[in-house]
Structure 1
Amino acid sequence: MRWREFYCEGETYNLEHLHPFSFDMVIPAKQGQPEQRYNINVRFSLHCFSRGVKPGEKIPDHLAYSDDRETRIFDFDRYHRSRMLPDIVRYLGERKCFHDNHGNFYVFEITEEDGTTAYYSVFFTLSKAGRKAGLNLFISSAHLREERPYVRQIKPIRFRVLVYNTWKGKAVKPAP
């Protein structure tokens, strides 16, 4: 999905940074294991820059943004933060990930411009694209939270492990 620009009150909001892209994730050789390379195909949902309707709220015409499945409200804060997503995705190999309550994974904690930590939840799924096509990484939503999401006593899992297990067809279950 290539996202079209959004226009509001004379301003243009370019969404090219959320167009699909691919990158190679390299896991260096370690302890006798050879280097591993994975092609990651990335796609983003409109939930990365829009929000749902709150109870009793109607979507203002000037803020409506639609894809082929739904219409949501363009969210300026989500849009602003979405500009970080391509870099967050490219460096997932260095991050720990967590299971959410819906079968997805997420990463969080970003450093704001003022040096403070914020809880920017980036929810995603990872699936095999085919033997030569690599893996599909779908960013289903990304938004700021006031506190750490889904605080549970579960161990995080490194994105590298998710990639390896997905490539090998191994299930990844939350570890208590």
Structure 2
Amino acid sequence: MRGSRWRDVSYNGKTYDLKHLHPFSFQMTLNGVAVNISVVFSNHCFTDKKGDGQPLFGDRYFCEARYQCSLNLPRLLQEHLVNGHVVPHFDKGSNEVYYYAAIHDYAVFFDLRPDRGSPGGLTLFVTSAYEVDQWGKDTMPRGKAVKFNYIGYLRLNGLTYLPLRKQKRR
């Protein structure tokens, strides 16, 4: 499976194991069909721009709070995200569609695409995930929540969900 296999991070004299953020896959049912979901994580699940010390990736620093929350991320994706609702979000800067899901007070931003390595499967790329403080709730994407299953069905068929726009093949 493609995607980063993160090395452990040493921070303030402690080593943090990142194996839980290695790529993995699981099966789910979409419209009665078993679909393989390949999951890949970006470093934004355990880094931020507010850290101290040496940056790990460009201007990204290890964030212990994000790391601690990420320990449950694989389980949350499999148990809550795929059975829940997401808010499609169009990023004008990159001309990309991302999806946002609130799971309790945890925000997960991801991209969902057909899996080139597994025909009839999807790749769920978690672009960022972090705990949302009360003050930050107003900054989350707004829009109509859509069932994850519906987004998955569209993406399997080469379509995307663009709010206030016609769907187009990608």
- How much identity, in percent, do the aligned residues show? 32
Task: Report SS of the residue matched to 1:106.
Answer: strand
Count of matched residue pairs:
152
Per-residue deviation, 1:151: 5.6
Q: Contact 1:124–1:137 at 8 Å: present in 2 too?
A: yes
Per-residue deviation, 1:71: 4.5
For residues 119-158 of structure 1, the aligned pairs below 5 Å read 120-130=106-116, 132=119, 134-147=121-134, 148=137, 149-150=139-140, 152=142, 154-158=143-147
Cα shift readout 1:52-72 (whole Å, capped 9, x = no counterpart): 25xxxx8512xx323xxx341
Amino acid of the structure 2 residue aligned with 1:108: A
> CA RMSD, aligned part only?
2.2
The equivalent of 1:74 in structure 2 is 62
For residues 158-169 of structure 1, the aligned pairs below 5 Å read 158-169=147-158
Q: Cα gap change, 1:101/1:171 in structure 2, threshold over 3 Å: closer, same or farther?
A: closer
Unaligned stretches of 5+ residues in structure 1: 28-32, 111-117
The equivalent of 2:5 in structure 1 is 2
The equivalent of 2:86 in structure 1 is 97
Cα distance in structure 1, aligned partners of 2:152 and 2:108: 16
Task: Report SS of the residue matched to 2:113.
Answer: strand
Q: Contact 1:20–1:42 at 8 Å: present in 2 too?
A: yes
Unaligned stretches of 5+ residues in structure 2: 92-96, 166-170
The equivalent of 2:33 in structure 1 is 36
TM-score by length of 1: 0.77
Structure of larger gyration radius: 1
Matched, 1:172 2:161: yes
The equivalent of 1:30 in structure 2 is none
Cα shift readout 1:9-47 (whole Å, capped 9, x = no counterpart): 3311000000000111124xxxxx6x2111111100000
